[in-house]
Structures are given as C-alpha cells and as structure tokens.
Amino acid sequence: MIDKETHMTNTLTRREVLKLAGAGASALLLKVDSAHALDEVVADDAAAVLYDATRCVGCRACEEACKAWNKLPPDEEPPSDLTAHNYTLIKQHQEGADESFRKYQCMHCVHPACVSACPVQALTKSKDGPVMYDANKCIGCRYCMVACPFHVPRIDWSDPLPIIAKCTFCADRIMHGQIPACVEACPVEALTFGTREQILEEARSRIKQYPDRYIDHVYGETEAGGTSWMYISAVPFEQIGFPKLDSDPVPELSDDVAMYGTPSMLVGVAALLGGIYWATSRRNEGKQEE
C-alpha cells in the first residue's frame, strides 16, 4: 500500500525540516540538546561483529550453532524469516544479476529503539555491547517489536505467556571471554568478532584492499546511530533487505520529548490552570459581592 522509497526519503525531509527551521511550538519546546537524553553507553571497546556477505556461502552452520547454544527447538521446515525459535537466519537475496547471502539477527544498536521503548526496562543495552532481555520484567506490550527499525524481536504467538525472542549476542558467552556461537561455527570466516573499533578498522581495510569486490560502505557504522553488528557487501544494501536509515538514533526525538517535553508540559499546564482558576474565582467572587 505504501511506496517504500518515497516513504523513507520523505520522513528524512520531515526530520530535516524540524532541524533546520525549528518549526512549530513543539520544536521550541522539545529540541533542546539532543546529545543529552540518550545515554552514551557504548564505548569503542564494546563487542561487535562483522558479517562479510562476500565470504558467506550460505551453509547455515551459524543457525545450527545458535539453536544448539540457546537450546531452541528444531524446525519442521526451514524458516523463511526470523521466528521466536530462530534468532538468526541466512537468506539468499537475488535482484537481477546480483546475488548475495545475508545473515539476519538483532543488530544490537548503539542506541536501541527497543530499549527506549520498553516501559519496564526488560530490555537494556549492556556496556559490553549486547541488547539484553529480562523476561521477568517484561509485560508483553510488544512496543519493542513495533519500534525496532530492523524488524527483529519476535514472540511465540502460540505461547499463552510468551517471551520476547531475539539474538542475545551470546552475552552468556562473551562475558566469559568466549566468542558468539555463530561466529565460532562459521567455516569460512564470514563472521569476525572483535571490539567495535577493531571491527570498523577491519571492514574499512577490506574495502580498501578490494575496492572492486565491495560497495564502499560499512552498514551499521552510522545507521540509526550505529549498530554492534556491521555488514560489508558486494551488492547495494537495499538489495539484501536493509532499511535506508540516516545517522540519527531512532529513539532520539522520542527521548527528547519524554525528557524535556513532558516536564515542560506538566509545568506549563499547571501554571496555566492555576492562573485561570485564580482569575475566574476572583471574577466569581466579584459577581457575588455585587
């Protein structure tokens, strides 16, 4: 129903208009200093992974290793999308002569929309990199699913009391010095684990070394304010299912409005109501005296 291309470019303009013109009352009220509301949690030495689409042969060893480590039930037929029991998935994308594999999983954003969305802090961003989930806190409102720009969180709809299911970044492995199960399982080193700084450096050096093989772009370096999982590819990223995102963290505007807009609103309305009440009570008293 919606034309995706125009949709995306148009929303970008809408944001830019706000930024440039500072238009409208809400802009004055809300657009204070965007750097403050988002906590700077991710350092350059946080964990990161590089997926090199040109190396991936689509063997799906990563999927198997993920299932084994996370004790996920086997599938009756191979899934075509991420599910509550498939935290990662290799898909083959074809567009014209371009053909490429792509690995899907949680991108572990530097400024995750899901973490900002969650009302009860069931989702948190670890300083080490992973976006972590605590089912004990979760109420199942599914705002994280709606908010995620990469369409990642899933629930098992057949479960009466489902949990949010997504890639854990093998937090329970990397905290103990191990690398994620999928990275370990990859036979062709399409996946590389390291710090965000190392990974970016590695990605750039590969592009520099083989400029003919790669598109000159590291997806995830800046998209949505940066992600912990980053990609390099021979084909344009839109062709392997990536949304076109600018470098603004997805929750930025929402966070600013929550942290500055709401308190301003409360104070403003209280003052306004108090003033009106004072004026109208006096007027009524005046009337009675007459």
Partner 1 sequence: MSVITKIREENFPITYWILAALVLLGMAFGVTRLVLGLGATTNLSSGYPWGLWITFDVFTVPFSAGAFTLAAVLHVFNRKKYHAVAHLALLAGFLGYLLVVLVLLMDLGRWDHFYSVLMPWRWNLHSFMFEVSMSIAIYFGVLVLELVGVVFKGQDWLPVQFINRLIPLIAGTGVMLSCVHQGSLGALFLMLDQKLHPLWWTPILPVLFLTSALFSGLSVGIFLSILTWRALDKPVPMRLLSGLAKVVLVIQAIYLVLKIGDLLLAGEAGLVFGSGLLSVLFLAEIFIGVIMPLILFSSRARESERGLLLGVIYTLVGLAINRSSIAWFGLRAPAEATYFPHWMEFGIVIAAASFGILFFTLGIRYLPAIRKGVLEEGHH
Site for partner 1 in 60-119 (CB under 8 A): 81-83, 113, 116-119
Q: Does 36 bind partner 1 (CB under 8 A)?
A: no
Q: Select the residue interacting with partner 1 from 137, 189, 208, 213 (CB under 8 A).
A: 137
H helical segments located in 225-261: 252-256
Tokens of 216: 């000159």
**Cβ contact 72:86 at 8 Å:** yes
DSSP-derived secondary structure for 27-82: HHHH-S-HHHHS-----TTSEEEEEETTT-----HHHHHHHHHHTPPPPSS--SS-
Determine, following the binding rule CB under 8 A, whether residue 276 of this chain makes contact with partner 1.
yes
Q: Is 41 in the site for partner 1 (CB under 8 A)?
A: no
Torsion sign, CA atoms 28, 30, 35, 36: positive
Q: Is 116 exposed, middle or buried (0-12, 13-18, 19+ CB in 10 A)?
A: buried
162 vs 236 by CB, closer to partner 1:
162
Q: CB atoms < 10 A from the CB of 203, how many?
A: 24
| Binding segment (CB under 8 A) for partner 1, from list 48-56, 169-177, 228-236, 264-272 | 264-272
**Tokens linked to 273:** 């109501």
User: Stretches 43-51, 89-97, 141-149, 210-218: which one binds partner 1 (CB under 8 A)?
Assistant: 141-149
As measured in angstroms, the least distance from the Cβ of 257 to partner 1 is 5
Of the candidates 103, 65, 63, 102, the residue with the CA atom closest to the CA atom of residue 86: 63
Q: Which helix (H) or strand (E) holds 269?
A: helix 262-289
**Which part of the chain contacts partner 1 (CB under 8 A), choosing from 56-64, 71-79, 170-178, 247-255?**
247-255
Among 43, 68, 146, 175, interactor with partner 1 by CB under 8 A: 146
Q: Closer to partner 1 at the Cβ: 129 or 251? A: 251
- A 10 A CB-CB count for 48 gives 28
When asked if residue 28 is in the footprint of partner 1 (CB under 8 A), the reply is: no
- Rounded to whole angstroms, the Cα distance separating 69 from 181 reads 7
Instruction: Please say whether the beta carbons of 52 and 192 come within 8 A.
Output: yes
Based on the shown chain and the rule CB under 8 A, indicate whether residue 149 belongs to the binding site for partner 1: yes
72, 132, 207, 259: which one binds partner 1 (CB under 8 A): 259
Position 13 contacts partner 1 (CB under 8 A): yes
Read off the tokens for 163. 């949990």
Q: Which is nearer to partner 1, 210 or 278 (CB)?
A: 278
- The answer to whether residue 179 forms part of the interface with partner 1 (CB under 8 A) is no
Measured from the CB of residue 76, what is the shortest distance to partner 1 in angstroms? 16
Segment interacting with partner 1 (CB under 8 A) among 100-108, 155-163, 184-192, 211-219: 155-163
- Only one of the segments 2-10, 66-74, 182-190, 226-234 lies at the binding site for partner 1 (rule: CB under 8 A); that segment is 2-10
